[in-house]
Amino acid sequence: MNIIVTGGAGFIGSNFIFHMLAKYPDYRIICLDKLTYAGNLSTLECVMDNPNFSFVKADICDREAVYALFEREKPDMVVNFAAESHVDRSIDNPSIFLHTNIIGTSVLMDACLKYGIERYHQVSTDEVYGDLPLDRPDLFFTEETPLHTSSPYSSSKASADLLVLAYHRTYGLNVSISRCSNNYGPYHFPEKLIPLTIVNALANKALPVYGKGENVRDWLYVEDHCKAIDLIIHKGRVGEVYNIGGHNEMKNIDIVKIICRLLGKSEDLITYVADRKGHDMRYAIDPAKIHAELGWLPETKFADGIRKTVDWYLNNRKWWEDIVSGEYRDYYDKMYGNRG
């Protein structure tokens, strides 16, 4: 089995590659990644010498490069993680999100049609459903929940999902889509809430919390997401959408306080800052379909996963120190400098 994994130098894609190489010793994994600010080759260092792994630096929007790779590798499957993934950046500058997340997806699917494929899997997000009110804890996102996006990021992901389903219906492409809740774990880029809080707390820097910190996310340990995708691409039904989430809803402020406690840092570091524009209130997944059809359930409890994550950041300082000292510093100053 030859699998092209796009965006494999990023957070979830790299964890997926580690999972697949460990579980399937006879599979070949080809990682295609543009290495944007969010993609780091150092993340893939531990698999670079694996004879079943190869890395290709390319843009999913570059039709010529994508076709050449398909011609050479004749993939059986494509799992598309490649995306611009940060909501705040999408508010600042939507266009690259539209380009990569929508056009890039169409180029990959055109290649699948041209060269033939067993399965094209689109890694999507629960953010395509918009948000739920805080005072209705009985409501959850199901696969039937209408798409109702808030940010340029989620709109671009929803657009891609529609295109994926259209390629299935119109051209008969064998597709599947997963819509997962917020992930956390190793190799998470420190612009996102959990790694940003860990990294800032370790430097005794302010811990920025948007608005009142009451927004709720449904956190899932990244390995559980990777296992769910593994199940979907092997056993999931073609043309179907599967929601992935672990019934682990938490307020942002509680997450930040837990991290302070685990690191022995004072909650005085917490700084309330101006809210995100269009900030989604609550995400909550109903994972009944993937549980009933594929037997998937999350395995890592939040208390264990967050401890493992904090330990990983403590033990892998070089990985994130290199990031925090580079181009990311300019982003941080721009985003948080005048936020007050």
127 is catalytic: yes
232 binds ligand NAD per the rule CB under 6 A: no
Q: How far is the CB of 137 from ligand NAD (least distance, A)?
A: 21
**Segment near ligand TYD (CB under 6 A), from 170-178, 209-217, 242-250, 293-301?**
209-217
Q: How far is the CB of 11 from ligand TYD (least distance, A)?
A: 11
d(CA 204, CA 138): 38
Question: Of the candidates 10, 190, 208, 287, which one interacts with ligand TYD according to CB under 6 A?
Answer: 208
324 binds ligand TYD per the rule CB under 6 A: no
Query: b/e string for 24-53 if b means 16 or more Cβ within 10 A?
Result: eeeebbbbbbbebebbbeebbeebeeeeeb
Contact assessment for residue 24 and residue 71, using Cβ atoms and an 8 Å cutoff: no
SS3 content of the chain, % helix, strand, coil (to 5): 45, 20, 35
The partner in contact with residue 69, picked from ligand NAD, ligand TYD, none with C-beta cut-offs of 5 to 8 angstroms by kind, is: none
Which residue has its beta carbon closest to ligand NAD?
10
Q: 123 pairs with which residues across the strands? A: 178
The partner in contact with residue 82, picked from ligand TYD, ligand NAD, none with C-beta cut-offs of 5 to 8 angstroms by kind, is: ligand NAD
- State which of positions 61-100 bind ligand TYD (CB under 6 A): 87
In 3D space, the residue among 60, 57, 152 whose CA is nearest the CA of residue 100 turns out to be 60
Q: 28 pairs with which residues across the strands? A: 2
5 binds ligand TYD per the rule CB under 6 A: no
Residue 123: which H helix or E strand, with range? strand 119-125
Neighbours of 297 (CB within 10 A): 13
152 binds ligand NAD per the rule CB under 6 A: no
182 binds ligand TYD per the rule CB under 6 A: yes
Distance linking the first and last C-alpha atoms of the chain: 52
Contact assessment for residue 218 and residue 284, using Cβ atoms and an 8 Å cutoff: yes
Q: 170 pairs with which residues across the strands? A: none
The partner in contact with residue 210, picked from ligand NAD, ligand TYD, none with C-beta cut-offs of 5 to 8 angstroms by kind, is: ligand TYD
306 binds ligand NAD per the rule CB under 6 A: no
Q: How far is the CB of 222 from ligand NAD (least distance, A)?
A: 8
d(CA 29, CA 322): 27
The contacts of residue 79 (CB under 8 Å, 6+ apart) are 3, 4, 5, 6, 16, 121, 123, 229, 233
36 binds ligand NAD per the rule CB under 6 A: yes
- Options 59, 126, 223, 224, the catalytic residue: 126
128 binds ligand TYD per the rule CB under 6 A: no
284 binds ligand TYD per the rule CB under 6 A: no
Q: How far is the CB of 192 from ligand NAD (least distance, A)?
A: 7
167 is catalytic: no
123 binds ligand NAD per the rule CB under 6 A: yes
**Segment near ligand TYD (CB under 6 A), from 51-59, 69-77, 202-210, 300-308?**
202-210
233 binds ligand NAD per the rule CB under 6 A: no
Catalytic residues, by residue number, are 126-127, 153
